[in-house]
Structure formats: structure tokens, C-alpha cells
């Protein structure tokens, strides 16, 4: 069974220039070795501070990472049923992500492509296109960043094209709220630069509040809204995160708990 996890969801966001290494722990970086997320157990393997593998021992699938220098340029998910999902990432000379493509062996005619255009100081245009037989859906986001390079907010338009009808939508991501604790994977070489989920947003801090709502011309809606709370150890790395999800009318509908273990904390 495939699932989209908080840390590794397929909704691409943004790439920024935030430092991805805790220099105070350069020689012996703090690294996540085990994570339990929404009931699934993950273990992580490293070569120094470079991540080599993430294994879900509950559902029996594995993600293997490939580096070019200090940048993660490919990762491959292999599932117990033989399905293989491949993600390719490219970067510019400033080590900022410029393109991400995702394909799956069980859907050879489907793909996801995200491009990033750096327009000026704090603005990035992100275009994400999902293609499948009979449907093409494109999100165009005018994104802004904070002074530390982390994602701040965006406005967006959506075009959802079918053979006989096209739906359009508009939406926004409100200002993201961060806290002061360390992002668990901040010390993994190249990890923050991938930036492909709500949590991987160019910040070495943790996300507290996130609210993205899109409304469509036919009256439909899609949204991602949540608030997170954290329990920290004495080094300000989270040992537990509780994420509460909400509908756009502010009614809660689920909670997810993630716990972390580290190599030397």
C-alpha cells in the first residue's frame, strides 16, 4: 500500500538557499535513525551525513537516495508488489532546485513535473503539472520567502483539464508559522534543498501552522490545513510531533503522531 507521509508527500513546494547543516555539529551531526509516523515504522541509513536509505518496515518498502556531490539528485521507492517510483531532481549553479520529475512503473502514462523559476530576491514561480490519461492538472504558484530563505506564502491558480470540461481555481497559502526548534532532518546533507512537502520548506525550524485553500469555478474546494505541536529534548530536537488537520470551516478531522529517535541525543 502506498501512502503520502508528512515528511515525504508528493506535493512539491519550493527550494531556497537556507543552510542545510548544523555547523556546530559538523563533525558529529545529529541524525534521525528511527521514526514512527502515523503508525508506520521507518529506519534510516547514512554514509556520514548523507542519507542512503529510508526503509518502512511496517509496509515493507524502501527509498534509496543518490547524490551528485552534496545534492540529492535521485531517489527510488521500491514497494513489496514490485512497483517502482522514481524521482529526479535538478539544480542550478547556486544549488537551488530547478526541476523535479516523478514517474511510477505502475502508471507509465502518468507523471508529475515541477519547475522553479527564481524571479527576484524573495519571489519564486513554481509550476506543478500532473499528467494522466484523459487529465492534465496544473498549479501555478507565485511564492514568497522569508529572509532566511524559508517559504512564507503564495497565491496560485489551478487548471484541471479533461476531454470535455476544464475546471479552474484560485487559492493561497497564508503566512506559514514556524517555531524555534530544530527540524529533525536539518543536518542531513542536501535534504532541505529538495523541499518537496509541507515540512520541507527551506527552513531549519519546524512548522507550526499551515493553511492552503483553493476554490474552484464549479464550487469545489481543496485544502491542506493543520497545526502542529512538538515535544523537544534538551537539545531542541523534537522527540514527538502531533499534527491536527482541519477542514476549511475549521472543524478538525484527524490527528497524526510522529516520534523521532536520534543517533546520539
Sign of CA dihedral 196, 205, 36, 53: positive
C-beta separation of 184 from 32 below 8 A:
yes
The 10s digit of each residue's pLDDT in 202-233 is 788 999 999 999 999 999 999 999 999 999 99
Pairing of strands 205-216, 166-173: antiparallel
Q: Is residue 26 part of a domain?
A: no
CATH code (residue 185):
2.40.160
Domains held by the chain: number: 1
The 10s digit of each residue's pLDDT in 190-204 is 998 886 656 667 788
C-beta separation of 230 from 47 below 8 A:
no
Residue 5 has pLDDT above 80, yes or no: no
Q: Is residue 25 part of a domain?
A: no
Confidence tier at 24 by pLDDT (50, 70, 90): low
Sign of CA dihedral 202, 115, 223, 254: negative
The 10s digit of each residue's pLDDT in 144-158 is 999 888 889 999 999
Exposed, middle or buried by CB within 10 Å (0-12, 13-18, 19+), for 255? Answer: exposed
The 10s digit of each residue's pLDDT in 68-100 is 999 999 999 999 999 999 999 999 999 999 999
Percentage of the chain exceeding pLDDT 70: 88
Take residue 176 and report the three cell numbers written for it.
Answer: 506559514
Q: Is residue 205 part of a domain?
A: yes
Domain range enclosing 178: 31-262
Q: What is the largest CA-CA distance in the chain?
A: 59
The average confidence (pLDDT) of the chain is 90
Q: Is residue 249 part of a domain?
A: yes
Place of cell 531556497: 16
Question: Which residues are within 8 A (CB) of 246 and not within 5 positions of it... i.e. 6 or more apart?
Answer: 225, 226, 227, 252, 253
DSSP the chain: -----STT-S----------S-GGGSSS---EEEEEETTEEEEEEEETTEEEEEEETTTTEEEEEEEETTEEEEEEEE-TTS-EEEEEEEE-TTS-EEEEEEEETT-TT-EEEEEEEEEETTEEEEEEEEEETTEEEEEEEEEEE-TTS-EEEEEEEEEEE-SS-EEEEEEEEPPPEEEEEEPTTTTSTTHHHH--SSS-SS-SEEEEEEEEEEEETTS-EEEEEEEEEEEE-TTS-EEEEEEEEE-TTS-EEEEEEEEEEES--
Q: Is residue 140 part of a domain?
A: yes
Q: Is residue 142 part of a domain?
A: yes
Q: Is residue 227 part of a domain?
A: yes
Q: Is residue 7 part of a domain?
A: no
Amino acid at each position: 500500500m502506498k501512502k503520502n507521509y508528512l515528511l515525504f508527500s508528493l506535493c512539491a513546494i519550493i527550494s531556497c538557499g537556507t543552510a542545510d547543516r548544523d555547523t556546530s555539529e559538523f563533525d558529529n551531526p545529529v541524525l534521525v535513525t528511527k521514526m514512527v509516523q502515523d503508525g508506520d515504522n521507518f529506519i534510516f541509513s547514512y554514509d556520514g551525513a548523507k542519507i542512503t536509505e529510508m526503509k518502512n518496515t511496517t509496509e515493507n518498502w524502501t527509498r534509496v537516495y543518490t547524490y551528485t556531490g552534496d545534492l540529492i539528485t535521485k531517489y527510488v521507492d521500491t514497494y513489496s508488489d514490485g512497483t517502482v517510483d522514481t524521482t529526479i531532481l535538478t539544480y542550478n549553479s547556486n544549488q537551488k532546485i530547478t526541476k523535479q520529475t516523478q514517474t511510477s512503473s505502475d502508471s507509465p502514462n502518468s507523471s508529475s513535473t515541477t519547475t522553479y523559476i527564481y524571479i527576484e530576491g524573495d519571489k519564486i514561480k513554481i509550476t506543478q503539472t500532473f499528467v494522466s490519461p484523459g487529465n492534465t492538472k496544473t498549479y501555478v504558484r507565485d511564492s514568497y520567502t522569508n529572509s532566511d530563505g524559508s517559504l512564507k506564502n503564495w497565491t496560485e491558480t489551478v487548471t484541471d483539464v479533461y476531454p470535455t470540461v476544464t475546471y479552474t481555481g484560485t487559492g493561497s497559502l497564508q503566512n506559514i508559522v514556524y517555531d524555534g526548534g530544530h527540524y529533525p532532518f536539518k543536518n542531513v546533507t542536501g535534504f532541505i534543498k529538495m523541499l518537496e512537502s509541507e515540512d520541507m520548506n527551506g527552513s531549519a525550524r519546524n512548522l507550526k501552522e499551515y493553511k492552503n485553500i483553493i476554490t474552484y469555478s464549479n464550487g469545489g474546494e481543496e485544502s491542506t490545513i493543520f497545526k502542529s505541536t512538538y515535544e523537544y529534548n534538551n537539545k531542541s530536537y523534537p522527540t514527538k510531533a502531533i499534527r491536527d488537520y482541519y477542514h476549511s470551516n475549521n472543524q478538525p478531522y484527524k490527528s497524526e503522531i510522529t516520534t523521532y529517535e536520534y543517533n546520539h541525543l
